[in-house]
Structures are given as structure tokens and as C-alpha cells.
């Protein structure tokens, strides 16, 4: 009986991977409650800081973000759900954090924020919050297509001393375990997100770094063509799933 059930489960695995499940849905009820509790979710601190930064004078004589864009709840609703997106001037797609830094340098005469800084994480989290509950709608500019394909290639490429691809874990073995960790399908529905293991907010690039370190390969750079391609691919794969904010993961 038990064996039959196991066998059925093993055979059902590829089908399970086709049905999309987010990391949130796989979390324990306690963690889901923590994410939904407006007092217990530590990601809210970054969102509050992002809101402050949104209207902060950059100190260069230029406008604040709010000075140009107005109320984020209007102007930025749904924006994060469509990133990475094509940027005309740089002739390539950029991720949300990269887009924020472009506004810093192009429109505020200011230095870009460090990729791993509370400022950039807070602003990105605040903007993502304006898309909470909205479906992921990948940029449909055809110029992003070759990048997405490159992302798909990267996802399927075996890397590192362990010679594993992202797809081996996140397509084929999703729902199984790696040690005590449940292998998710890797849908980026809530980045930047608060990971309990990090004890802080972190970007999707940091999550990629973790998985790439895990297979003993050399991570790429945050905002690099490789990471933006990977994100483009994952966002298409997750198209239609809703944005969570602030998301928590173990």
C-alpha cells in the first residue's frame, strides 16, 4: 500500500512540476501567518524605509523620486510586476534595482546605491509593495526575447563542481528535499524578500548567489547580463502568479 503510494508519487513528479506552486504556498502555516501579520513581518521595516527614501531630497539640487513620480501608489502600481524591462537608453533590459540606480544617476545627479545596501533594498521593496497582489506580467518588448532565451539556457546549463543545473532541482526535483530544505519551483514572486536564514532583506541576485555557491560554481554579478537574463526567464515562467510583498522565506 505504502509502496504503491510512493511509486504513484514518484511517477507523478514531472506532472507536479508542471502545476505551479509558489514558495509561499509551500511554507509552513506559521511562516505564512508571519508574512501576513502586519506586526510580525520584519520586511515591513524596509518598506517603511523605502517610503521615506521615496520623498527624500537627494542632496544634489535634483528632485526626490516623489518630486518626479508623485505618489508611488499611483505611478508605480504594477511596475515591479513587469520588471526586468527594456531600457531604451542603455539598449538592454534592466532589473528594478538597476532601474532605480539609473534614475539616481540620470535624473538625480547622484551616485548609484550599492547593490547590497539597505537603501536600494528598501526602495526596491517599497516599489514591489506597490504591485502586491498583482499578476507578474513580463515585459513584452520583443527585444527582451533573446535575453529570456539566454536565461533559459543558463537555467538548463550544468555548472559547478557538483555539475548541476537550476532546472534539475527546480523543474525536476521541485517538491522534494535537499537536506531539510524543501526544493521550491523558484518562482520569484516576492523579491527583494526577508529570509530568516539571512536575518535580513535580500535581493533575487543574493538568492541566485546562494544556489550557485551551493553547487560550487562562481556566482555572477548582481545586475549583470546573466542575472538579468535569468530573472527575465524566471519571470516569464512565473507569469500570472501574484506578487507577494513583503515576502518571507525560511
Stretch touching ligand HEC by CB under 6 A, among 34-42, 140-148, 179-187, 236-244 = 179-187
Contact call for residue 18 and another protein (CB under 8 A): no
Annotate each residue in 59-98 with x if it binds ligand HEC (CB under 6 A) or - if it does not, as one string. ---xx-x-xxx---------x-----x-------------
Alpha-carbon gap, residue 6 to 225, rounded angstroms: 42
Contact call for residue 199 and another protein (CB under 8 A): yes
Cβ proximity of 60 and 226 under 8 Å? no
Q: Which of 36, 106, 111, 239 binds ligand HEC (CB under 6 A)?
A: 106
- Number of residue whose CB is nearest ligand HEC: 23
Which residue reads 528535499 in cell numbers?
Answer: 177
The whole-angstrom distance between residue 73's C-alpha and the CA centroid of its chain comes to: 20
Cβ proximity of 243 and 128 under 8 Å? yes
Residue 39 interacting entry, from ligand HEC, another protein, none, C-beta within 5 to 8 Å by type: another protein
3-state SS class at 69: helix
Q: Is 69 among the annotated ligand-binding positions?
A: yes
Contact call for residue 33 and another protein (CB under 8 A): no
**214 burial type by CB count under 10 A (0-12 exposed, 13-18 middle, 19+ buried):** middle
Q: Which is nearer to ligand HEC, 164 or 228 (CB)?
A: 164
> Active-site residue 159, yes or no?
no
Contacts of 184 by beta carbon, 8 Å cutoff, 6+ apart: 21, 22, 23, 26, 170, 174
Catalytic positions, written as ranges: 211
Amino acid at each position: 500500500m505504502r509502496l504503491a503510494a510512493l511509486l504513484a508519487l514518484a511517477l507523478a513528479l514531472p506532472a507536479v512540476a508542471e502545476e505551479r506552486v509558489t514558495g509561499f504556498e509551500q511554507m509552513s502555516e506559521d511562516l505564512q501567518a508571519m508574512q501576513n501579520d502586519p506586526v510580525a513581518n520584519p520586511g515591513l521595516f524596509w518598506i517603511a524605509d523605502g517610503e521615506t527614501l521615496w520623498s527624500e531630497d537627494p542632496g544634489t539640487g535634483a528632485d526626490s523620486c516623489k518630486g518626479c513620480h508623485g505618489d508611488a501608489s499611483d505611478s508605480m502600481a504594477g511596475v515591479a510586476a513587469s520588471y526586468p524591462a527594456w531600457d531604451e537608453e542603455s539598449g538592454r533590459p534592466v532589473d528594478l534595482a538597476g532601474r532605480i540606480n539609473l534614475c539616481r544617476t540620470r535624473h538625480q545627479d547622484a551616485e548609484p546605491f550599492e547593490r547590497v545596501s539597505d537603501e536600494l533594498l528598501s526602495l526596491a521593496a517599497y516599489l514591489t509593495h506597490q504591485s502586491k497582489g498583482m499578476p507578474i506580467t513580463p515585459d513584452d518588448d520583443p527585444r527582451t526575447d533573446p535575453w529570456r532565451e539566454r536565461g533559459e539556457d543558463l537555467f538548463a546549463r550544468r555548472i559547478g563542481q557538483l555539475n548541476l543545473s537550476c532546472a534539475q532541482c527546480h523543474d525536476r526535483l521541485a517538491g522534494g528535499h535537499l537536506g531539510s530544505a524543501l526544493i521550491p519551483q523558484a518562482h520569484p514572486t516576492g523579491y527583494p524578500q526577508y529570509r530568516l536564514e539571512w536575518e535580513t532583506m535580500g535581493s533575487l541576485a543574493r538568492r541566485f548567489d546562494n544556489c550557485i555557491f551551493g553547487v560550487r560554481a562562481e556566482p555572477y554579478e548582481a545586475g549583470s547580463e546573466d542575472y538579468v537574463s535569468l530573472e527575465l526567464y524566471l519571470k516569464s515562467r512565473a507569469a500570472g502568479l501574484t506578487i507577494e510583498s513583503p515576502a518571507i522565506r525560511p
